[in-house]
Amino acid sequence: MKPGLEDALKRIKSYSEELGLDLNKSEDRFKWLIASTLFAKRISSSIAKRTFEVFLERGLTSPEAILRAGWDELVNALDEGGYVRYDFSTATNILELVKALLEKYGGVDGIHEASRTPEELEARLMELRGVGPTAVNIFLRELRGVWSKARPKVSDKALAVAQRLGLSLEEAERYESKLVRIHLELCKKRRCIECPVHAFCNSSYS
């Protein structure tokens, strides 16, 4: 790795870190699952983040709290966060997801414990309503090193940035969450000058 690049990457926060979550804690892993479903939709990351913050403000942070709140309260929270395009369907999906998680696994960690392989873990997650491949990748890539079976395929977005930075596949995997964020918020919009790793990049946009 180029001198100084590792320090620059470490200073970039992943989405879960920016949301103030500690994924070593079970309760925060559940919160991250909910956040991942919000980030997975075709909607801006700023709206997804704001909507999740509304969930935190309203105490919608555990399976029990979400079930107590019910559909109307979830729709109100989604609307307040600006998630209006998908408010009805997302409220329904979250309620069904939480019910299945509790009934089948007793909570978020139970789904990992029930899975024998990384592939089975991904398949079980995708059985939850509203959780597709994008949400699974978002959720699991930040759980590398926390859950032993959290080993999703490195996303194309991360690999594209890794190539520009001259990173190996192993390094791309280690910093995947941060590389994806760089792609979505900076590379995609060609905001190169604002990028904290601009000096290390071989991009033609530079």
What are the two backbone dihedrals, phi and then psi, of residue 144, each rounded to the nearest 5 degrees?
-60, 130
pLDDT digits (tens, 9 = 90+) for 1-12: 889 999 999 999
Compute the distance between CA of residue 142 and CA of residue 11 in angstroms, rounded to an integer: 16
**Residue 149, domain member (yes or no):** no
Q: Which domain holds residue 174?
A: 154-200
**Residue 39, domain member (yes or no):** yes
Compute the distance between CA of residue 25 and CA of residue 83 in angstroms, rounded to an integer: 27
Residue of 146, 151, 157 lying closest to 136 (CA atoms): 151
Residues 71 and 162 reside in one and the same domain: no
Compute the distance between CA of residue 171 and CA of residue 70 in angstroms, rounded to an integer: 42
Domain total for the chain? 2
Q: Would you call 113 helix, strand, or coil by DSSP?
A: helix
**Residue 5, domain member (yes or no):** no
pTM: 0.93
Residues 107 and 48 reside in one and the same domain: yes
pLDDT digits (tens, 9 = 90+) for 169-195: 999 999 999 999 999 999 999 999 999
**Residue 180, domain member (yes or no):** yes
Q: What is the pLDDT of residue 18?
A: 95
Residues 127 and 171 reside in one and the same domain: no
CATH code of the domain in which 101 resides: 1.10.340.30
Residue 22 has pLDDT above 70, yes or no: yes
**Residue 76, domain member (yes or no):** yes
Compute the distance between CA of residue 96 and CA of residue 138 in angstroms, rounded to an integer: 20
Residue 204 has pLDDT above 80, yes or no: no
**Residue 41, domain member (yes or no):** yes
For residue 206, name the pLDDT band (cuts at 50, 70, 90).
very low
Residues 60 and 105 reside in one and the same domain: yes
**Residue 84, domain member (yes or no):** yes
